Chain A
Amino acid sequence: MTGEPSFGARSTAARTGAPGSWPYLWALPPLAALGLVFLYPLALVAWQSVSPEDGGHSLAPYAEVFAETSFGTALTHTVLIAAGATAGALLLGLALSLVIAFVPFPGGRALARFIDLFLAFPSFLITLALLFLYGTVGIANGVWTDLTGASHGPLDFLHTPWGVLLAEVTYFTPFVMRPLLAAFSQMDTGQLEAAASLGARPWRIVRTVILPEALPALAAGGALVLVLCLNEFGIVLFTGAKDVVTLPVLVYSKALLDGDYTGACVVAVVNIALSVALYALYRAVMPRTTRTTTAGSSGRTAGARNGGRAAPRTGGVPHRAGVQ
């Protein structure tokens, strides 16, 4: 052979932490592309946010935006709706996953698949569907008017934050269920059997055996959903409510409806700061998830037999949405 080290040897060397010049060169083209179409534009947004219209550079745009009441309400709405939707999705996702995994019924697996389908569809479809379910025309109010003969039904919450909350809980619950179901399917069943044979009641088994095992998956799913809720735009836009304004909607309306790009950039920077901080937290939680969920499985073959279903690394992200 020539003196050139083989590919395998080089990659092992790289893995053990001895960097050659080649690996970095290979990483350059994708990095350059990412820099041009993503990092450079983001930097420009940050730059524009400190460049007021009348020239020069200062923090004046921030002071201006922070003083607006619309910003304050948008920030509160965003955080409250995101926190509420995350809590709702966690509770609902945990309950549904527990039934699918531990109280199985025929077709339960198919239902789990069906939930995956949600991840392939855009979020705004949920708001559209809710309009036909609970809107001023639609099933719920239709049933009410049919039964009571009233001229219009009692439900009119879709244009309020509650409508957004319901849509977000519905849409994001599958994001919690995927990592949870993966974690459940890899759980060491010996503990459960031991607890049950010692006479522990189901609720106690859930609390003391299942939940501690599932906690990392739950945390990862929750953190991801929180970030996605903070960034959600389609659901809020389709609600069409003038008084439900979140940070992404404020970015949109400032830039496109008011033409105030500097203001939009300020709101964008605040939104990025919020989301990226949370995302960093999520990434910090992720490695723990990987360790815990793989520890229960009997090594490589078990994971392979699941068809990579568990894919702990991908956590709650729909890496396989509907395709398997």
Chain B
Amino acid sequence: MAAAPLPAQEVCRTVLVSSKPARRVLHVLFLALFLPLFALPLLVIVAASFATNWSGALPSGATLAHYRELARGDALTALLTSLGTALAASLAALTAGTWAALAAQRLGRRARRVLDGLFLLPLAVPSVVVGLALLVAFSRPPLLLNGTPQIVILAHTVLVTAFAHQSVTAALARLDPAYEQSAAGLGARPGYVLWRVKLPLLLPSLTAAAGLCFALSMGELSATMMLYPPDWLPLPVQIFAATDRGALFSGAALAVALMATTLLVLLAVSRLRTRAGYR
């Protein structure tokens, strides 16, 4: 019974369309939809970042100039700004989201639903409105944050906390309560159970949530557009500024930098996660 699901799956997959030509047609159709819609967009951005002109079927005027531009000046500052914002926001979001998820688990059913609902609410509210709300709330005393980097970080935190909360809640639901019960039954204090049993078990999910929060914060544009001060321009804002003034190709190079950084961090996090999973 142990390996049951996989072979069963194989069987069902072959029964649905049994004739080989029909399968071939379906696959061609699939690729005809999939490649232009999903693979091509990412490829053209990379191709454009090495070009100066694109008036034919292929880009022309191969150059590394956009990347040289990137290594100095505003672009590098923007990348560092984005990294700093994403790091601060995902750490804060992870703390708040995990705390809320752990607290919610100990509440009664109805109270838990309310708490979960409140923490997921930022998903439903448009990011632009979250930006506007922070602008309205923190442009007046007692808390004057308008025009500071903190308000951007705050906005990102609000937006990604929902994802952290959701991931941790899902992980908690899958967690076998037997571990903490036996630890508690052996006389471990609640704090000890949380720190030495529950959090280590949650670690893989926590790192995954951190990676997701980081990626989302790196690419956040909507709320940032409402809030960014002139001395704190994250990368997406720079990309918009570049394309808005018609510099599509340097915009593409900036976008490649954004994607590469996000991917590198996600990769690092997933390696960390595998290691954590083996513990």
Residues of A within 8 A of B (CB): 1, 6-12, 14-15, 17-19, 22-24, 26-27, 29-31, 33-34, 37-42, 44-45, 48, 92, 95-96, 99-105, 111, 114-115, 117-118, 120-126, 128-133, 137-139, 142-143, 145-146, 170, 173-174, 185, 187, 189, 192-193, 196-197, 202, 205-206, 227, 230-231, 233-234, 237-238, 240, 247-249, 251-252, 255-256, 261, 264-265, 268, 271-272, 275-276, 278-279, 283, 297-298, 300, 302-306, 308, 311, 313-314, 317-324
What are 15 pairs between A and B in contact, CB < 8 Å? A9-B184, A10-B106, A11-B105, A30-B96, A31-B118, A123-B219, A131-B243, A142-B58, A146-B57, A173-B38, A233-B225, A252-B225, A268-B133, A319-B208, A322-B266
Is A323 a contact of B166 with CB atoms below 8 Å?
Answer: no
CA A255 – CA B259 in complex, angstroms? 30
How close is B134's CB to chain A, nearest CB, in angstroms? 5
Known contacts A133-B44, A247-B126, A305-B5; A128/B252 CB under 8 A? yes
A33, B123: Cβ atoms under 8 Å? no
- Tell me whether B107 and A27 are in contact (CB under 8 A): yes
Q: Which of A8, A131, A265 has the most CB of B within 10 A?
A: A8
B214 → chain A closest CB, angstroms: 9
Q: Among B22-30, B62-70, B71-79, which stretch is in contact with chain A?
A: B22-30
Q: How far is the CA of A37 from the CA of B5 in the complex (A)?
A: 45
Interchain CB contact (< 8 A) of B126 among A31, A238, A275: A275
Q: Which residues of B contact A102 (CB under 8 A)?
A: 12-13, 16-17
User: CA–CA, A170 to B188, complex, Å?
Assistant: 51
* A10 contact set on B, CB distance < 8 A: 106, 190
Question: Inside 8 A of A313's CB, which chain B residues have their CB?
Answer: 166, 169-170, 173
Q: Is the CB of B45 within 8 A of A196?
A: no
Residues of B contacting A: mostly: helix
A residues in contact with B138, CB < 8 Å: 41
Q: Contacts A205-B16, A233-B126; is A19 near B212 (CB within 8 Å)? A: no
**Is the beta-carbon distance between B109 and A114 smaller than 8 angstroms?**
no
Q: Are B226 and A252 in contact (CB under 8 A)?
A: yes
Nearest A residue to B173 via CB reads A313
Assess whether B190 is in contact with A24, with CB atoms less than 8 Å apart. no
List 4 additional contacts besides A11-B177, A122-B219; criterion CB under 8 Å.
A251-B132, A252-B128, A268-B129, A272-B125
Size bracket of the B interface: 35 or more
The answer to whether B99 and A29 touch across the interface, beta carbons within 8 angstroms, is yes
> Closest residue to B235 on the A side, CB-wise?
A122
**CA of A271 to CA of B219, assembled, Å:** 22
Q: Give Cα A29 to B119, complex, Å.
A: 13
> Does A128 contact B9, Cβ atoms closer than 8 Å?
no
- Name which residue of chain A comes closest to B39, CB basis: A114
- In B166-208, the 8 Å CB interface with A consists of 166-167, 169-171, 173-174, 176-177, 180-181, 183-185, 187-190, 193-194, 207-208
A240-B248 Cα distance, complex, nearest whole Å = 13
Q: Tell me whether B124 and A275 are in contact (CB under 8 A).
A: yes
C-alpha gap A111/B157 in the complex (Å): 31
A129 touches B40 (CB 8 A): yes
Tell me whether B121 is interfacial, beta carbon within 8 Å: yes
- Given A95-B33, A275-B124, A317-B166, are A189 and B259 neighbors across the interface (CB < 8 Å)? no
Q: Are B136 and A261 in contact (CB under 8 A)?
A: yes
Chain B residues within 8 Å of A189, by CB: 8-9, 11-12
B132 touches A272 (CB 8 A): no
Residue of A nearest to B9 (CB): A189
* Of listed B102, B170, B263, residue having the most chain A CB within 10 A: B170
Chain B residue at minimal CB-CB distance from A48: B136
The answer to whether B259 touches A121 (Cβ under 8 A) is yes
Establish whether residues A170 and B123, one from each chain, have CB atoms under 8 Å apart when the complex forms: no
Per the bound structure, the CA–CA distance linking A146 and B55 in Å amounts to 9
CA distance in complex: A320, B168 (Å) = 11
* A27 with B56: CB separation less than 8 A: no
